[in-house]
Chains A and B, each alone.
Chain A
Amino acid sequence: MTALLAAVIGSAGAVAAQDLAGSGSLEVTGWFQAPLYPGQQRVDVSLMLSPELALEWADQRLLVTPFVRWDQADPERTHWDVRELLWEYAPGNWELRAGVGRVFWGVTEFQHLVDIINQTDFVENIDGEDKLGQPMVQVGIFRSWGSLDLFVLPGFRTRPFPGPGGRPQFPLPLRPELAVFESAAGRGHVDVAARWSHVLGPADLGLAYFRGTSREPRFVVGTDAEDSPVLIPHYDQIDQASLDLSWVAGAWLWKLEVLNRDGAAERFAALTGGFEYTLYGVAGSSTDLGLLLEYAWDERGRFGQNPFNDDVFAGSRLALSDVSGTELLAGLGLDRRTGAGFVTVEGSRRIGNRWRASLEVRGFFAVPPTDFLYPLRGDDYMRLQLERFF
């Protein structure tokens, strides 16, 4: 890999363009309730730095995005990652990418069900939108019948979780270092994936297949060296087929994600879908209001570890087309079976030309022990972030 990169850079000659982007941020988090477990804090301060460097020449490009975070309360949240170290070659209607990268699949807002390529950086944020870099070699071709992307994914990354000083915690201590891999190759297993996507007028359709190590750990109660009960993540080998579809009709945007996952331990289907309806220029101004409604279903129900197994989500997204690009997103989720609920409010606005301030408030209510959100019941929080862009 390094030799290939060196050869490419050496032969390229003068770099046609280079660009520095990315950001750094200061984050302060406060929890509304007292901690459930000893060692947890009420307030946390954290710093993050993630510059993005892009070098371009001819039909090639090199992207380098390191990431580092220091966290005052939780040493497990202090972490670094290579989000991207990717060489791209796109001469015309095909592309080749090699290195570490990020690929997003999906159309829904509340749960990204089919987004499988990258491992979730769960210590960054519990909403699953932050991901770890994934080693990959990808070939993509673009034709009149659509785009076809083929992936070889060498190397698996386990999911990071908050440590004993962090929030949320599970009722039993989680021991990621005792992780069990179904495959003897463990972290070295080479996974493969493919996705065909096509635009058919108002519809965007994608069909995907993945074979390899599941990014979602299955928690199993085990014992540690001292025979105390602990939670051990198990990473199974799976076959997953998925579909993602979005359909535009005027101000309506309809979305659907469906998957079928087949593994030795379990075999199930899951789906999520809904709509987003946009009201443009509400109250005569240039403010847009988007109304979202989505549903999530998991065939495993209460026998699986997915909290969103029979849930309804409703939300609204307000985007003022003002100079500061002010945005506000408010959402509510309810489990139809257990009655558990969560509320999320996110707002942000630009300050000056290079800064953005954001506020995120999340709360969980009426969560019974039978719902997989139970560990989060006492971890309602408010997070303020001040981000500086390069």
Chain B
Amino acid sequence: MAHVVSLVAAAWLTLSLMGAAQERTPEERGLAIATEADARASGWHDSTAEMEMTLVARTGDETVRRLHGSSLEVDGDGDRSLVVFDSPRDISGTAVLTYAHPDEADDQWLYLPALKRVKRIAAANQSSAFMGSEFAYEDLVGDELGKYTYRWLRDEPCPGQAATLDCFVIERRPRADTSGYSRQEVWLDSREYRPWKIDYFDRRDAVLKTLTYSAYERHLDRFWRAHDMVMVNHQTGRETRLHWAEIAFGTGLSDADFSTAALRRAR
């Protein structure tokens, strides 16, 4: 009898030790990868950029929009951003100020230059198209870590131009039920944790859009930023290309540059 007890005890002890050294669950691994990617992309304090957005219709016709903006990292909260539209010329000077919050609705204000009016707007429209493009508002501002639950799917070579690198493929599900997506699949390279491709799945779990990143450049010896992004909508056949020019970090911006008074001065 003592033999059996000690055998069971030994077996239990062995199994416990094996459990401690065992692989984490896919959910834990997915969260760990996303957390590392977020950590590597953080700490830039403030940045400014100019962006050109090209809308490509099914027919191949192209329309170009230009805007510029700045962002500020906030300790313990989401980023603040101020975006000013440059073209088309009838909306030039229109600006949007956003205070992102990971756990609640963002605060957002719109500046209408014709009236010199700052207007608080309801930021619940995550799934609305941004300026008629294939990017929804949540696609452009949606990367706060706490907004999703994560699950690691597999490892494979990175897609397209980055085929020489190995990628993690993780699935992330938006926590907010106001999101237009059921889930997303993200390819991050295992060396620098940069996103290379995201597949967006709609509420019926069909692939709706694919976002591809390219032209990565390293800033301040630390931060990788993709200068080109292409969003293809598989269901409409339309495409939007983003090209980022003039990205600068640490230009000395502060809270005062992201106030409603700064919004009123925005050009």
A253/B117 contact (C-beta < 8 A), A199-B107, A325-B90 known: no
Contact B63 A356 (CB under 8 A): no
A250/B122 contact (C-beta < 8 A), A95-B265, A197-B260 known: yes
Q: Which of B34-42, B126-134, B209-217 contacts A (4 or more CB under 8 A)?
A: B126-134
Q: How far, in whole Å, are A102 and B255 apart by their CA atoms in the complex?
A: 25
Contact B256 A88 (CB under 8 A): no
A-B contact pairs, 12 of them (CB 8 A): A21-B89, A90-B265, A199-B260, A246-B120, A278-B122, A280-B124, A280-B125, A280-B128, A281-B180, A353-B63, A353-B88, A354-B89
Contact B89 A278 (CB under 8 A): no
Contact with A along B53-92 (1 / 0, CB 8 A): 0010100000110000000000000000000000111111
Q: How far, in whole Å, are A293 and B55 apart by their CA atoms in the complex?
A: 35
Contact B128 A93 (CB under 8 A): no
Q: Enumerate A54-82 residues with CB–CB distance to B below 8 Å.
A: 54, 56, 61
Q: Does B206 sit within 8 A of A, measured CB to CB?
A: no
Return chain B residues, CB-CB under 8 Å to A250. 105, 122, 124
Q: Which of A61, A281, A389 contacts B89 (CB 8 A)?
A: A389
Q: Which of A90, A246, A276, A356 contacts B90 (CB 8 A)?
A: A356
Q: Which of B87, B93, B124, B128 contacts A286 (CB 8 A)?
A: B128
Query: What size tier do the contact residues of chain A reach?
Result: 35 or more
Could you tell me the distance in whole angstroms from the C-beta of A115 to the nearest C-beta in chain B?
A: 9
Q: How far, in whole Å, are A108 and B45 apart by their CA atoms in the complex?
A: 36
Q: Which of B93, B116, B265 contacts A102 (CB 8 A)?
A: B116
Q: Does B149 sit within 8 A of A, measured CB to CB?
A: no
Q: Does A360 sit within 8 A of B, measured CB to CB?
A: no
Return chain A residues, CB-CB under 8 Å to B91. 325
Return chain B residues, CB-CB under 8 Å to A93. 254-256
Q: Does B259 sit within 8 A of A, measured CB to CB?
A: yes
Q: Which of B129, B259, B267 contacts A54 (CB 8 A)?
A: B267
Q: Does A142 sit within 8 A of B, measured CB to CB?
A: yes
Interface residues, chain B, CB within 8 Å of chain A? 55, 57, 63-64, 87-93, 105, 107, 115-125, 127-132, 180, 254-256, 259-262, 265, 267
Q: Enumerate A341-359 residues with CB–CB distance to B below 8 Å.
A: 350, 353-356
Q: How far, in whole Å, are A390 and B259 apart by their CA atoms in the complex?
A: 28
Q: How far, in whole Å, are A251 and B123 apart by their CA atoms in the complex?
A: 7
Return chain A residues, CB-CB under 8 Å to B89. 21, 353-354, 389-390
Contact A288 B128 (CB under 8 A): yes
Could you tell me the distance in whole angstroms from the C-beta of B97 to the nearest C-beta in chain A?
A: 10
Could you tell me the distance in whole angstroms from the C-beta of A194 to the nearest C-beta in chain B?
A: 15
Q: Given A199-B107, A250-B122, A278-B124, list of 17 further CB < 8 A pairs?
A: A21-B89, A95-B261, A103-B116, A107-B119, A147-B259, A199-B260, A252-B122, A253-B120, A253-B121, A276-B122, A278-B122, A281-B128, A286-B128, A321-B129, A353-B63, A354-B90, A389-B90
Q: Which of B88, B124, B180 contacts A350 (CB 8 A)?
A: B88
Return chain B residues, CB-CB under 8 Å to A95. 261, 265
Could you tell me the distance in whole angstroms from the C-beta of A348 to the nearest C-beta in chain B?
A: 9
Output the nearest chain B residue to A106 by Cβ-Cβ distance. Answer: B117
Could you tell me the distance in whole angstroms from the C-beta of B110 to the nearest C-beta in chain A?
A: 11
Could you tell me the distance in whole angstroms from the C-beta of A212 to the nearest C-beta in chain B?
A: 20
- Nearest first, the 4 closest Cβ-Cβ pairs linking A and B are A389-B89, A286-B129, A93-B256, A321-B129
A323/B55 contact (C-beta < 8 A), A90-B265, A353-B87, A353-B88 known: yes
Return chain A residues, CB-CB under 8 Å to B265. 61, 88, 90, 95
A142/B261 contact (C-beta < 8 A), A107-B119, A253-B121 known: yes
Return chain B residues, CB-CB under 8 Å to A224. none
Q: How far, in whole Å, are A116 and B91 apart by their CA atoms in the complex?
A: 26
Contact B120 A248 (CB under 8 A): yes
Return chain A residues, CB-CB under 8 Å to B132. 286, 321-325
Contact B122 A142 (CB under 8 A): no
Contact B115 A104 (CB under 8 A): yes
Contact A92 B256 (CB under 8 A): yes
Contact B261 A253 (CB under 8 A): no
A354/B128 contact (C-beta < 8 A), A104-B116, A252-B122, A278-B122 known: no
Return chain A residues, CB-CB under 8 Å to B116. 102-104
Q: Which of A19, A129, A288, A355 contacts B125 (CB 8 A)?
A: A288
